[in-house]
Amino acid sequence: MCGIIGYIGNKSATPLILDGLRKQSYRGYDSSGIIVFEKEKPELVRAVGKLEVLEEKVQKSDFKGTVGLGHSRWATHGEVTEANAHPHADCNNNIFVVHNGIIENFMSLKRQLEEKGHVFHSETDTEVLPHLIEHFFKGDLPKAVRQALLLVKGSYGMAVVARDDPGKIVAARVSSPLVISVNDSGGFVASDPSAIVSHSNKMVFLDDGEVAVLESGTFTVTDLHNIKKEKEITELEWSAEEAQKGGHETFMLKEILEQPESIRNVIRGRLLPKEGAVKLGGLEEVEEKLRGMKRIHIIACGTAFFSAMTGKYMIEEYAGLSCEVDIASEFRYRKPIVSPDTAFLFISQSGETADTLAALREVKRKGGLTLGIVNTVGSSVAREITAGIYNHAGPEIGVASTKAFTSQLVALAMLTVFLARQRSMSLVLGKRIVEEIARLPDLVKQVLGQKEVIAQLAQKYASFSNMLYIGRKYNYPIALEGALKLKEISYVHAEGYGAGEMKHGSIALIDENFPTLAICPSDSVYEKMISNIQEIKARGGSIIAIASVGDKEIANLADDVIYIPKTIEMLTPILSVLPLQLFAYEIGVKRGYDVDKPRNLAKSVTVE
Ligand code: M6R
């Protein structure tokens, strides 16, 4: 959602802040702003719309100051206006705040502050923060911030500067990510490491309730009561270059085509072919506990939820464990049973999704064992779970999740082997599955090699306004994911269905203007899928089939076929989703949309 960046040091702050905002623009924003201290005088500039508007305004002023903050806002409280854009200031133009999250008790705080004479200029919840800090400020900014935050309820990742306590940035977080980094030329604070990783890959991730004070070249972290905290420095594997487009037109395409590599990364060092087993270092400390588990409960949102659904089929079939899946936003508000024989697995690319995090905290509160499959190193989910598996897919910048999804599926396949080999899976079967997982990078490459064929197909279908996606068993969640990809990238109405469920309603939609993408590799439900395809053909619907190489029957039935290589049934989703990613991408581009930043969406959903 919103993005925070701050710099303090010996360089001009403005270009560093603008660069940090640009690098976080993928998160989605509708307005932006910057505060720089120019010869001790605060210079505040805010703008509605694209970052270019802010850049143009700032360039006219040519600020040279070496301390400043920047923010890109995605409106929650109050409309998209310049007055609502951050930074927000106190009554004296002394204290300036940028903030991500929601201050839940802002109404009552605002009322109390207004009674004391504070004058507000925006409709935002954020504006109570500079006024509240002003209320406590007596020349010591960190102290005033700590005092103010003791009264605040809600979520915040925030950074503050004060004219009358210069040479400091104070940053604090509760439930909204914040990272700091210090090098020889100064210190940075950001809501996303990708905004500052080009300056240093050594990061300090703040935890809830922590307050950091950055001065040029140094930092300290305390809690809200000023008790000092020792912080670990995390070295990120991401290079600045990795976070760029690498010669591709869009991040989304780059990330789709990177999948042979990202899958290689998730399996690197983890397969034990001779033992028919996998080594998951991140689960070692809970290995014995997992042996006694009877159930796995997976919780996630969006695309990560579809990987959870696919994982359910894997775990039940091979590990013989009962597996339940839940959308995090539903799980957190029901009354889940957290029993000692159940392990709770949270899947998240960003590791910052508000609902997933809330569900995780609920399970922890009830004493459940928490595991994770997370891509972003040092993210909140990664830090709060007991044990987990990193995806190592590298930064995913495109809003539509692609490479993170397939690496989640591979991580789930490895977790399945891990759990199954603790139980009844034979050495022979373990070897067979491990062998097939090792082949995946090459198989994925073969599918992606059909990019041009899929582009032509997309041309043929780009003008349709509706599409149905169907699949069964392992490929039922892939039908849902394929439909989601098309919706979010090309704004075409798409429905994902379990093929067997079609007859219970959605088949009524089918006519010559409603094509169907049928995912029907040669697996245990192939015959059933063929019957469903025939039913659609009989009603005049056209079919694009995703089928296994060598399937001759399908060519007589479907209007178009995309072939994927053969593998074991459990791994077919990792191949069948690839044409669907490319198909959605091509249709989005043909329709002229910005596929990296689809309308109304943000990469990381850090508010409810
Ligand atoms: O970062 P997470 O994996 O927790 O994000 C979950 C969803 O918000 C995410 O997968 C979303 O559905 C994607 N934009 C879909 O492409």
CB-defined site of ligand 1, < 6 Å: 301-304, 348-350, 353, 356, 399-401, 488, 604-605
- Residue 208 is part of a domain; what is its CATH number? 3.60.20.10
In a domain, 597, yes or no: no
CA distances from 337 to 105, 154, 341, 350 (A): 31, 26, 11, 26
Burial of 335 (0-12, 13-18, 19+ CB in 10 A): exposed
Q: Are residues 10 and 112 in the same domain?
A: yes
Instruction: Verify whether residue 2 is a known catalytic residue.
Output: yes
Residue 237: per-residue pLDDT: 74
Residue 242: per-residue pLDDT: 60
In a domain, 600, yes or no: no
- 323 C-alpha to ligand 1 centroid (Å): 21
Give me the sign of the Cα torsion angle 290, 294, 298, 299. negative
Q: Are residues 475 and 585 in the same domain?
A: yes
In a domain, 596, yes or no: no
Q: Are residues 160 and 113 in the same domain?
A: yes
Q: Compute the average pLDDT of residues 103-120.
A: 95
Burial of 126 (0-12, 13-18, 19+ CB in 10 A): buried
DSSP 8-state assignment for residue 376: S
Which numbered atom of ligand 1 lies nearest the CA of 300?
Answer: 4
- Residue 510 is part of a domain; what is its CATH number? 3.40.50.10490
Residue 233: per-residue pLDDT: 92
- By alpha-carbon position, which residue is closest to atom 14 of ligand 1? 400
In a domain, 88, yes or no: yes
3-state secondary structure of 338: coil
Q: Are residues 293 and 149 in the same domain?
A: no
- 243 C-alpha to ligand 1 centroid (Å): 18
Q: Are residues 438 and 540 in the same domain?
A: no
Q: How confident is the model at residue 608 (pLDDT cuts 50, 70, 90)?
A: confident
Closest CA to 132 of 122, 115, 147, 154: 147
- By alpha-carbon position, which residue is closest to atom 8 of ligand 1? 302
Tens of pLDDT, residues 249-286: 899 999 999 999 899 989 988 999 999 999 999 999 99
In a domain, 602, yes or no: no
Residue 395 has pLDDT above 90, yes or no: no
DSSP H or E stretch at residue 309: helix 302-314
Spatial strand order in the sheet of 543-548: 493-498, 466-471, 516-519, 543-548, 560-564
Q: Are residues 429 and 306 in the same domain?
A: yes
Q: Are residues 42 and 131 in the same domain?
A: yes
Using most ligand atoms within 8 A of CB, pick from 375, 599, 605 the residue to mutate for ligand 1.
Answer: 605
Residue 507 has pLDDT above 80, yes or no: yes
Which numbered atom of ligand 1 lies nearest the CA of 400?
Answer: 16
Residue 38: per-residue pLDDT: 77
Residue 144: per-residue pLDDT: 98
Tens of pLDDT, residues 421-454: 999 999 999 999 999 999 999 999 999 999 999 9
Residue 340: per-residue pLDDT: 96
Which numbered atom of ligand 1 lies nearest the CA of 356?
Answer: 4
Residue 309: per-residue pLDDT: 98
Q: Are residues 128 and 164 in the same domain?
A: yes
Mean pLDDT of the chain: 93
Residue 244 has pLDDT above 70, yes or no: no
- By alpha-carbon position, which residue is closest to atom 16 of ligand 1? 400
Q: Are residues 104 and 230 in the same domain?
A: yes
As a whole number of angstroms, the distance between CA 307 and CA 477 comes to 7
Determine which of 266-270, 340-344, 433-437, 516-520 has the lowest per-residue pLDDT on average: 266-270
Residue 394: per-residue pLDDT: 82
As a whole number of angstroms, the distance between CA 128 and CA 553 comes to 67
Residue 64: per-residue pLDDT: 86
Residue 606: per-residue pLDDT: 79
Domains in the chain, number: 3
DSSP 8-state assignment for residue 319: I
Residue 485: per-residue pLDDT: 98
Using most ligand atoms within 8 A of CB, pick from 1, 348, 401 the residue to mutate for ligand 1.
Answer: 401
- 318 C-alpha to ligand 1 centroid (Å): 27
Residue 82: per-residue pLDDT: 95
- 301 C-alpha to ligand 1 centroid (Å): 6
- 28 C-alpha to ligand 1 centroid (Å): 13
Residue 50 has pLDDT above 90, yes or no: no
CA distances from 93 to 89, 113, 126, 488, 576 (A): 6, 16, 15, 42, 57
- 298 C-alpha to ligand 1 centroid (Å): 15
Q: Compute the average pLDDT of residues 4-24.
A: 94
Tens of pLDDT, residues 530-572: 999 999 999 999 999 999 999 999 999 999 999 999 999 999 9
Residue 226: per-residue pLDDT: 97
Residue 414: per-residue pLDDT: 98
Residue 1 has pLDDT above 60, yes or no: no
Residue with the bigger pLDDT between 81 and 378: it is 81
- 604 C-alpha to ligand 1 centroid (Å): 7
Residue 27: per-residue pLDDT: 65
Q: Compute the average pLDDT of residues 372-397.
A: 90
Tens of pLDDT, residues 456-502: 999 999 999 999 999 999 999 999 999 999 999 999 999 999 999 98
Q: Find the catalytic residue in 2, 301, 323, 520.
A: 2
Contact 78, 124 (CB under 8 A): yes
As a whole number of angstroms, the distance between CA 51 and CA 57 comes to 10
Q: Give the rounded percent of residues in the chain with a pLDDT score beyond 90.
A: 81
Longest dimension (CA), the chain: 80
- 395 C-alpha to ligand 1 centroid (Å): 13
Residue 239: per-residue pLDDT: 64
- 399 C-alpha to ligand 1 centroid (Å): 8
Q: How confident is the model at residue 246 (pLDDT cuts 50, 70, 90)?
A: low
- By alpha-carbon position, which residue is closest to atom 10 of ligand 1? 303
Which numbered atom of ligand 1 lies nearest the CA of 381?
Answer: 4
Q: Are residues 461 and 568 in the same domain?
A: yes
Q: What share of the chain is helix, strand, coil (3-state, %, to 5)?
A: 40, 25, 35
Residue 139: per-residue pLDDT: 96
Q: How confident is the model at residue 240 (pLDDT cuts 50, 70, 90)?
A: low
Residue 216: per-residue pLDDT: 81
Tens of pLDDT, residues 162-185: 999 999 999 999 988 899 999 888
Using most ligand atoms within 8 A of CB, pick from 191, 301, 490 the residue to mutate for ligand 1.
Answer: 301
How many CB atoms are located within 10 Å of the residue 81 CB? Answer: 15
Range of the domain at 494: 454-590
Using most ligand atoms within 8 A of CB, pick from 345, 349, 391, 481 the residue to mutate for ligand 1.
Answer: 349
Q: Are residues 487 and 419 in the same domain?
A: no
In a domain, 605, yes or no: no
Using most ligand atoms within 8 A of CB, pick from 303, 345, 384, 580 the residue to mutate for ligand 1.
Answer: 303
Which numbered atom of ligand 1 lies nearest the CA of 376?
Answer: 1
Q: Give the rounded percent of residues in the chain with a pLDDT score beyond 70.
A: 98
- By alpha-carbon position, which residue is closest to atom 7 of ligand 1? 302
Contact 278, 417 (CB under 8 A): yes
- 566 C-alpha to ligand 1 centroid (Å): 28
CA distances from 100 to 85, 292, 463 (A): 12, 41, 39
Q: Find the catalytic residue in 254, 473, 597, 603.
A: 603
In a domain, 530, yes or no: yes
Residue 591: per-residue pLDDT: 94
Residue 338: per-residue pLDDT: 95
How many CB atoms are located within 10 Å of the residue 441 CB? Answer: 18
Contact 490, 591 (CB under 8 A): yes
In a domain, 242, yes or no: no
Closest CA to 470 of 460, 487, 482: 482
Tens of pLDDT, residues 64-109: 899 999 999 977 777 889 999 999 999 999 999 999 988 989 999 9
Top mean-pLDDT range of 197-201, 216-220, 227-231: 227-231
End-to-end alpha carbon distance in the chain: 11
Q: Are residues 350 and 203 in the same domain?
A: no
Which numbered atom of ligand 1 lies nearest the CA of 488?
Answer: 16
Q: How confident is the model at residue 26 (pLDDT cuts 50, 70, 90)?
A: low
Which numbered atom of ligand 1 lies nearest the CA of 405?
Answer: 10
